[in-house]
Amino acid sequence: MIEDISIRRYEQRDNDDIWLLHRAALGDMYQSGAWEDDLKDIQKNYIDNNGEFLVVELDAKIIAMGAFRKINSERAEIKRMRVDPQFWRRGIGQFILSKLELLAKEKGYRMLQLDTTIIQEAAQKLYTKNMYKEFKRDKVGPFNCIFYEKKI
């Protein structure tokens, strides 16, 4: 893991950097569409709805992000796990996921769910390593996805 990184809650001033990171992390598989509309109002879709949206910074630059949002009183959905490709394989995804799980538990959630595409093998390994279990496969926008869940 990289020394000198910090993690904090999203702020309105982060919007442009969030979109840049979102696109960069998805690389060639990025496609614009309704599936990303939640990023148009992060405050409303995450923070104001008993969720959280975190950014990771290095030298005042956002290099990663992750969030969760409420599904119901006991279940939340992990979303927008993104790490700048320059920083892949350094433990940052694990860092964010662990923090999100802790915050979700503090907010009273008992179950987390998430999805990733069938081609994002590194993400699949991260989630299964953290005891997430596959419960279905389905399409999200243009993507074929695997859905996972975990009791916390």
Using one digit for the tens of pLDDT, what is the confidence trace for 13-30? 999 999 999 999 988 888
pTM: 0.94
Statement: residue 135 has pLDDT above 80:
yes
> Above pLDDT 70, what percent of the chain?
100
Q: What is the CATH number of domain 5-110?
A: 3.40.630.30
**Residue 49, class by beta-carbon neighbours within 10 Å (0-12 exposed, 13-18 middle, 19+ buried)?**
exposed
Name the residue with higher pLDDT: 3 or 138.
138
Domain boundaries, the chain: 5-110
